[in-house]
Structure 1
Amino acid sequence: MNPRWQKTLLEYIEALAVALVLALVIRTFVVQAFKIPSGSMLETLQIGDHLLVNKFLYGVKMPFTGTTLFDVEEPKHGDIIVFEFPEDPDKDFIKRIIGAPGDVIEIKDKEVYRNGEKLTEPYIRHTDPRITPRRDNFGPVTVPENKYFCMGDNRDESYDSRFWGFVDRDKIKGKAWVIYWSWNGIPNVRFDRIGMLVK
């Protein structure tokens, strides 16, 4: 092989290897892409929204072990988080944190109370006027240490902590950060949502 071509080929291979390592490091420690597959977070998040999830914010974890090297900040009320679904760790779920460790959560006729105070939640929607047990009347429950109570914004159509319990702190993958792409099938690209911060 021509030495000049050999040198060029080696440079390309080196550049590709560096790019792959950087991509792996970024995905492991910094951000990860996530697609919204269901309507449980409507209207905040639409089906077909593609998000970047900030994995660095809640602490850097060692791959394969889940051991946290250091924390940047703790998850807090109102954060929209991606986490391992407690009933199937191979699936990722996205919900909003309603209760942090030590909080007492109660739901009365669709209204959510935290530590006895009714929450103001402008982001939620209800699609069913009926009141049903557990979904619309729940608790009170105290959130255990290192766990979080999470709910979808589309309250009547969300499978969340009311049904399967709490989210473990070490199962949280990150905080939803920004919408980088949004579409509802070809050719329905929602350009107005691209670049929106998730909150």
Structure 2
Amino acid sequence: MLRQGFRSWWTAGILVIFLVLLGVVRWLVIQPYVISSSSMEPTLRSGDRVLVNRLAYLNAAPSRGDIIVFAYPKDPKRTFVKRVIAVPGETVELRGNQVFIDGQVLREPYLKAGDYPPYGPETVPRGKVLVLGDNRRQSEDSRAWGLLPQSAIIGKVWLTYFPFQRWRFF
């Protein structure tokens, strides 16, 4: 009889430890977000649910092409999702509906077609990145509020998990 009670307490203890670890991973490592605008179409659509790796930039810098979640510079209580286009040391310019990095055209197969105004040229300083939405016509991004401090980055989009037919890793 005593042995049966010990087993159930042991099982309950293991379950509690598992749930605590799951909570720690959920809030400190992988965090879910819901996309709330069309600024990243066609890559991410309004209503898509994504998982963000909060440790992605712990020992690494963002790279061009990364899709990131960050605290909006004008209101840090809000979060935005955009694509990193230029990193420190690069000169970026938008003209003729194309992005130029250090004078070379950036190939952007993910881009939603459409006209958008010119920008730059601007050299990205250390500690900042230039971010743009894939839907440039409907994106409030670095063109509107300037270069993003890397300290504002929450993490890298890792996975779209809902809706299921749009499930994919980044």
**TM-score (norm. length: structure 1):** 0.76
1:174 and 2:125 correspond: no
* TM-superposition CA deviations, 1:96-146 (whole Å, max 9, x none): 00010111111113211111111111111134x5xxxxx511111111111
Q: Which runs of 4+ in 1 moved over 3 A?
A: 3-17
Shift of 1:46: 1.2
Query: Counterparts in 2 of 1:18-167, with a 5 A limit?
Result: 18-59=17-58, 71=59, 73-127=60-114, 129=115, 135-167=116-148
Amino acid at match of 1:39: S
1:193 and 2:166 correspond: yes
- Helix, strand or coil for the counterpart of 1:170? helix
Shift of 1:81: 0.6
Partner in structure 2 of residue 64 of structure 1: none
Superposition RMSD in Å = 2.2
CA distance in 1, matches of 2:11, 2:76: 38
Amino acid at match of 2:165: D
The structure-2 alpha-carbon separation of the partners of 1:171 and 1:5, relative to structure 1 and needing over 3 Å to count, comes to farther
Shift of 1:25: 1.9
CA distance in 1, matches of 2:36, 2:12: 36
The structure-2 alpha-carbon separation of the partners of 1:8 and 1:173, relative to structure 1 and needing over 3 Å to count, comes to same
- Helix, strand or coil for the counterpart of 1:88? coil
Amino acid at match of 2:93: E
Count of aligned residue pairs for this structure pair: 170
Shift of 1:10: 5.8
Structure 1 gaps, min length 5: 60-70, 130-134, 183-190
- Helix, strand or coil for the counterpart of 1:26? helix
Identity %: 40
The structure-2 alpha-carbon separation of the partners of 1:110 and 1:28, relative to structure 1 and needing over 3 Å to count, comes to same
* TM-superposition CA deviations, 1:17-48 (whole Å, max 9, x none): 42442133213432110111110000001111
**TM-score (norm. length: structure 2):** 0.88
CA distance in 1, matches of 2:61, 2:117: 28
- Helix, strand or coil for the counterpart of 2:21? helix
Identify which range, 135-144 or 85-94, moves more after superposition. 135-144
Structure 2 gaps, min length 5: none
